[in-house]
Amino acid sequence: MIAKRYEPFWKTTPMAQMAPSEWESICDGCGKCCLQKMVDDETEEVYYTNLSCHQLDINACRCKVYDQRLEKVEGCLSLRPEDVAAFDWLPDTCSYRVLHQTGDLPNWHPLVVGSDREMKTQGLNVSHYAVNENTVDEERWEEHIIKWVHGMPEPYDPTY
């Protein structure tokens, strides 16, 4: 007898129809969306810095005020399935983007692996390079611009 193979929910349930707990579990906890961004006035291009929101617990890559984040931090956003088409400002490795674009999660995702082991091994969360935004003067934020290559940070030299 051949055992029936069950597909995981993220392959069978459209994002807009996921239960809230399923939707939340798609977040891989990388913390990249909690890094401060700078926008070029002329091109509107978004540049990420390695400066994290002051409410991010950098070691754990967890928001310290998750349930009240929208009231506590101006500019913090709630990601909703209906906004998925506008997710292009998120990093390429964001699992919401990956799932939207490919129909599957990356092979290092905690739901696939069963833990965050692969994310830690591959350095895919920000804990090893993020710096609390409150420790750097805003005039010097430009020096903290980064770009990611295969999910890893590299110093970036802006030409604008």
Q: Which residues bind ligand SF4 (CB under 6 A)?
A: 27-34, 53, 55-56, 63, 65, 69, 73, 76, 79, 90-91, 94-96
Distance between CA 150 and CA 152 in Å, rounded? 6
Report the distance separating Cα 73 and Cα 142, nearest Å.
21
Phi and psi angles of residue 56, each rounded to the nearest 5 degrees, phi first: -85, 125
Number of C-beta neighbours around residue 77 at 10 A: 11
Q: Which is nearer to ligand SF4, 84 or 90 (CB)?
A: 90
CB of 8 to ligand SF4, least distance (A): 17
Q: Which is nearer to ligand SF4, 127 or 157 (CB)?
A: 127
1 or 36: CB nearest ligand SF4: 36
Smallest gap from Cβ 61 to ligand SF4, in A, equals 7
Collapsing DSSP states into helix, strand and coil, what is residue 33? Answer: helix
Give whichever of 73 and 152 is closer to ligand SF4, judged by the CB atom. Answer: 73
* Contact indicator for 10, 111 with CB cutoff of 8 Å: yes
CB of 30 to ligand SF4, least distance (A): 4
Residues 6+ apart with CB under 8 A from 119: 28, 29, 30, 108, 109, 110, 125
CA 157 to chain centre: 22
Q: How far is the CB of 137 from ligand SF4 (least distance, A)?
A: 19
- Using the minimum distance from each CB to ligand SF4, give the nearer residue, 14 or 75: 75
